[in-house]
A and B are shown apart, each in its own frame.
Chain A
Amino acid sequence: MLQQMIDNLSSFFGSGSNIMFLIFALLAIGGAVFMLNLTKVVHMVTSLAVTFISLAAIYILLQAEFVAVVQVLIYAGAITILMIFAIMMTNHREIDQSIVRPLHQGLVLIGVILLGGLIFYAVQRAAFPAPDVDLATNNTENIGLKLFHEHVIPFELMSVLLTVAFIGAIIIAKREED
């Protein structure tokens, strides 16, 4: 039993990608946990940026370089900066003291743990056949070809949606002068 465990561990740590996965998974979970436990909002946003960047590294482990770069650009770049702007424009000195509703918080904690256990059980039960494919060669080129051949209409709809959302955001946030 113990011998088998040690064998499993050594085979796990024998591969470099497993070690990298372990490091970045711990960083991602650590960033999220710190986001929940820190008290200042700016610190929360910064610790969640760590999560976003380590998720980008995990995307590279999954042979998705383009998605990883987009993740760094959009999440770690744009969304984090936008959140910090929003904090600066609202009450940036506020200390988030969330421990005021113990019953509510306990119930949410129990529900979340139950959900996590359910997902864990389902993932452990399911068998995923793993055909080995190579997605890494010409990743960006293949994504571009697929995007402009098979997914043209969703792509164009997405650009319309972005335009609508950003014009709407400007109009909502604009100071009413009159």
Chain B
Amino acid sequence: MNVVSSYLILAAILFCLGLYGALTKRNAIIVLLSVELMLNAVNLNLVAFAKWGIAPSLTGQIFSLFTITIAAAEVAVGIAILIAYYRSKATSDVRDMNSLKR
């Protein structure tokens, strides 16, 4: 077992927990939070391969910085949409967000 395997397995566990939360939780804020957890797991992969991968270099860390930036932008827009939605429909339950289906 190599050194990097333990980091990859930790990232896989976190990704699976985040996926489970994103698919089952009802509160839309918690769904956003689970997506953040999945992005964090991917970040952990990038940083682990930057140190223990086949071609280790700082580029992996720089890539993870870009991912963190995208995550921040995503969560800001997502929360803005949630607040606007809550203001018009007075709910943050994802099961009530089906007005396109009706």
List B contacts of A109 (CB < 8 A). Answer: 20
Q: What's the dominant secondary structure at chain A's contact region?
A: helix
B81: chain A residues within 8 A (beta carbon): 172
| Residues in A neighbouring B50, C-beta threshold 8 A | 62, 64, 135
Decide if B30 touches A168 in the complex (CB within 8 Å): no
Query: Chain A contacts of B34 at CB under 8 A?
Result: 35
Please state if A74 and B68 are interface contacts (CB–CB under 8 Å).
Answer: yes
User: Chain A residues near B77 (CB, 8 Å)?
Assistant: 165, 168-169, 172
The answer to whether B61 and A33 have CB atoms under 8 Å apart is: no
Cβ–Cβ contact B4 & A128, under 8 A: yes
The answer on a CB contact under 8 Å between A36 and B20 is yes
Contact between B10 and A104 (Cβ–Cβ < 8 Å)?
A: no
Inter-subunit contact A166/B73 (CB<8 Å): yes
**Size band of the interface chain B makes with A:** 35 or more
Cβ-defined contact, B10 with A66, below 8 A:
no
CB proximity of A119 to chain B, nearest CB, Å:
4
User: In the complex, what distance in Å separates the CA atom of A153 from the CA atom of B89?
Assistant: 41
Which residue of the partner chain, among B29, B47, B76, contacts A59 with CB atoms under 8 Å? B47
**B28 to chain A: closest CB distance in Å?**
8
13 residue pairs bridging A and B, Cβ less than 8 Å apart: A32-B37, A35-B37, A41-B27, A66-B61, A96-B26, A98-B25, A108-B24, A109-B20, A112-B19, A115-B16, A123-B5, A133-B51, A166-B76
